[in-house]
Structure 1
Amino acid sequence: MARSKHPELTRRTLLDAARRVLRDKGATLSLDAVACEAGISKGGLLHHYPTKDHLLVALAHALIDQFHDRLKAAHAEEIATHGNAPGAWLRAYVHLNFTPQEGGEALTAALAPLAAVPEVLHGFREAQAFLVKEAEADGLPPGRAHAIRLACDGLWTSRTSGLPDLTESQRAALEEELLSWTRL
């Protein structure tokens, strides 16, 4: 592939390729496999992401941004359907966390080791600070808002870390309980 005059498009192509490689092969991702999947030379990949860690950090941030976009859309849909009553943002958050995205768990598990790197973890915290702010701004008592958000985060963590998971009926009961907490 010739050098692109649109580096943002090339970076997006590389991140999409990395996502597919991680989904299909797990943590065994190699830069060669990503470059091949993207149809870009390894040198072209290295121009944009000089190391595997740079690529994985960029992918993790892209996934955070993608989740944020999905959350904004779910929140807008919640408001359109039920109005902007307190708890609308948290209801959208609950719904998203209880609706697994294809390949999402494999990607998260493959990226999890990056969280052990202090500077990467700091960047992830900053990138996800919107979760705390938006939960608190949703109009529910702050303690309840954080309990709902953290319960969703715990569910997500248990699915991706190998901790015991809930059955479908247990998951449905938890979702309904959390949604009930979003109503004053």
Structure 2
Amino acid sequence: MTRTRNPELTRAALLDAAGRVLQTQGAALSLDAVAREAGVSKGGLLHHYPSREALLSALAHELIARFRACVEQARAREVAAHGGAPGAWLRAYIEVSFTPQAGEEALIAALAPLAGHPELLAGLRAAQAFVVEEVEADGLPPGRAHAIRLACDALALGPLTGVPDLGAEGRAALREQLLAWTRG
């Protein structure tokens, strides 16, 4: 049987495999383990991602794209249910921030070593610029809008920095307060 080569599907399979390996091995993942998990040779992996950093960077960009798509879906639901009143994008951001995808926290933690690569961080910063743009265009006073976004970001990054978790009750109270700030 002739095998059809599709570079986009191969890259997607490699990123999925890298995510699974990161969840089990953490930041110590090896390219050999990723190649095995994806069912390709190490040379095949290196053809698409020439280094470990390139693979991790691509995975980080994929996580950003997934997060953005989730926020846009939540925003569409918000607008459909309540119209496009100011704060609709931030309400969607809150919804997604307080309901992380399975395994996402482990992936984010495993990608933390990218912080030591300023050139990779610059690319990630550019990929996430949409967050500031959307916050500033959401129709709320800028200080309040940025405080809401930064609270959501701190909630997500807290486990990486050792900040104690709020617990279920504290998280629920924070979520309700942030949502109230989007409406008032």
Is the TM-score greater than 0.5?
yes
Contact 2:31 / 2:52 at 8 angstroms: preserved in 1?
yes
Q: Which structure 2 residue ranges, 5 or more long, are not aligned?
A: none
CA contact (8 A) 2:27 2:113 kept: no
Tell me the matched-pair count. Answer: 183
- How has the CA–CA distance of structure 1 residues 19 and 117 changed in structure 2, closer, same or farther, with 3 Å as cutoff? same
SS at match of 1:10: helix
Aligned equivalent of 1:86: 86
Structure 1 vs Structure 2: percent identity of aligned residues? 65
Q: How does 1:46-57 map to 2 (within 5 A)?
A: 46-57=46-57
1:178 aligns with 2:178: yes
* d(CA) in 2 for partners of 1:161, 1:55: 24
CA displacement 1:64-106 (0-9 Å, x = unmatched): 0111111111110111111111101000000111112111111
Q: Is the 8 A contact 1:78 1:92 kept in 2?
A: yes
* One-letter amino acid of the structure 1 residue matched with residue 17 of structure 2: A
Equivalent residue number for residue 163 of structure 1: 163
Contact preservation (8 Å) 2:31, 2:42 = yes
- Residue 164 of structure 1 deviates from its aligned partner by 1.2
Gaps of 5+ in 1: none
Matches within 5 A, 1:21-170: 21-170=21-170
Aligned-CA RMSD value? 1.3
What's the TM-score once normalised by structure 2's chain length? 0.95
Determine the C-alpha separation between the residues in 2 that align with 1:100 and 1:159: 13
Stretches of 4+ moved more than 6 A in 1?
none
Tell me how far apart the structure 1 counterparts of residues 153 and 65 of structure 2 sit (CA, whole Å): 16
